[in-house]
Structure 1
């Protein structure tokens, strides 16, 4: 039998990359951490970590066991919630969301949840996808509203990850530019036409994505500013600092003096979805996922555009 505490120790080692840092996080001695890992390796009959001068990394067997550890943690957290519900008669849902998606999609979805399940207590925390999916995996939150650009969803999802990913909507990115710009009247613009332009962006991941798209188009963008807020970035565009690349759902509220132009295909796009623990069948969680899908469909049909 595999000891749950040893799985917890392995997760900490994987997260912190060393026995010493894992020991501090767990309030154990490094020797105790080492003993737990050694016992786990004896139990599974395989090495789960590889030690080197640069720290500790997981072996293929270790990655499998960390996935199992995360699934166990999520299941235990769910069990605690169910037991709490038996005592209080109330369901608690914890939600992690990125800012623009939460602002646009969550409020009315939560209103629908409250109508259907008025006893549900909801807690919302702001978190970027690279942080929110691990929170779901270990049971710290019940649902993550997240996004990704090219490639698969952030983190590990799928049948062996313990997570389920439900796609909600595609969120194309648009070029935001002053309404006096020569390209402001275009129906669409090719990204290569913007090679000489300076940029101000509303997200570090958007900056990285712009650099990726620009690289494919054969240029390196000149980024003059990166903020953590798309409205702030658009305000800087209005001040004449450069252009911006903004997802559709982050184009409101409007900023005077700006124009939004779609990018010609293949247009850069965010893919928005929700991550939940696989096999969760709570009525409240299912209601919230359904409400988010309905809200995303409404927003997708009424995409906001600046004129």
Structure 2
């Protein structure tokens, strides 16, 4: 029989990339962590980690076991919530969300949830997708409002997990530039038109995305500033530091003196959706996902979404 505590230790090693950091997170000694991993390997008859001077990495068997550890943790947390609901008569629902998506979609959706399930206790946590999606896999949150650019989900599921993605809406990125800029009156812009412009960006993931699109257009963007806040990035545009690339739903509230121009197809976009664990069809979760889909449909493609 596989010891659940040993799986928990292996998951911490995988997350932190070293025995020392895993030990600190678990409040154990590095020796205890090493012993737990060694005992797991003996029980399996296979190596689960590879040690090197650069740290610890998972073997193929280790990746399988970390996937199992995620599933076990999620099931135990789900069971704990069910037992808690038996004692209190009140179900718990925990939601993680990124800021701009939550601001646009959550208020009306949560109002519908409260009306349909008045005895459900709601908890909301803010977090970017790379932080929120592992919490879904671990059972620490029931669902995450998240986004991805082109490609797989950030911090995608480990083998053995059952992360389910429900698409909500596409969120195209727009060029934001001073109203007096020579290109501000265009109906749409090709990124190649902006090759000589300095840039200010509102998040590091947007910077990586811009660099990929700029490379396709034949130039390397001149990045003059990066922030973690889209409003601040637009404020810097208004101050003349550079132009920016901002998702539609992060264009409100407006800032005087700025113009917003769509990017010509194929336009860069964020794809917004909800991540859950497959098979967790509790009524409050289903109600909230349905409400989020209705809100997304109401905002899709409308200027009000900006």
- CA shift for structure 1 position 159: 8.3
- CA shift for structure 1 position 158: 8.8
- Whether contact under 8 Å (1:260, 1:305) holds in the other structure is no
Equivalence for 1:300: 300
Equivalence for 2:270: 270
Gaps of 5+ in 1: none
- Which secondary structure state, in structure 1, belongs to the residue aligned with residue 260 of structure 2? strand
- Which secondary structure state, in structure 2, belongs to the residue aligned with residue 82 of structure 1? helix
Q: What are the superposed Cα offsets for residues 235-281 of structure 1, whole Å, 9 maximum, x if unpaired?
A: 22122221110111111111122111110111001011111122211
Matched, 1:101 2:101: yes
Gaps of 5+ in 2: none
Task: Say if 1:3 and 1:305 are closer, same or farther in 2 by CA, change over 3 A.
Answer: closer
Which structure 1 residue ranges, 4+ long, deviate > 3 Å from structure 2?
Answer: 157-160, 303-306
Equivalence for 1:234: 234
- Whether contact under 8 Å (1:67, 1:162) holds in the other structure is no
- In structure 2, distance between residues paired with 1:289 and 1:267: 27
Q: What are the superposed Cα offsets for residues 189-247 of structure 1, whole Å, 9 maximum, x if unpaired?
A: 10011000111111121112111211221211111121222122112212222111011
For residues 53-202 of structure 1, the aligned pairs below 5 Å read: 53-157=53-157, 160-202=160-202
What TM-score does the superposition give when structure 1 sets the normalisation length?
0.95
- Whether contact under 8 Å (1:70, 1:162) holds in the other structure is no
- Whether contact under 8 Å (1:96, 1:145) holds in the other structure is yes
- Whether contact under 8 Å (2:233, 2:244) holds in the other structure is yes
- In structure 2, distance between residues paired with 1:159 and 1:28: 27
- Whether contact under 8 Å (1:248, 1:304) holds in the other structure is no
Moved more, 199-208 or 126-135: 199-208
* Number of equivalences: 306
- In structure 2, distance between residues paired with 1:275 and 1:282: 14
Matched, 1:204 2:204: yes
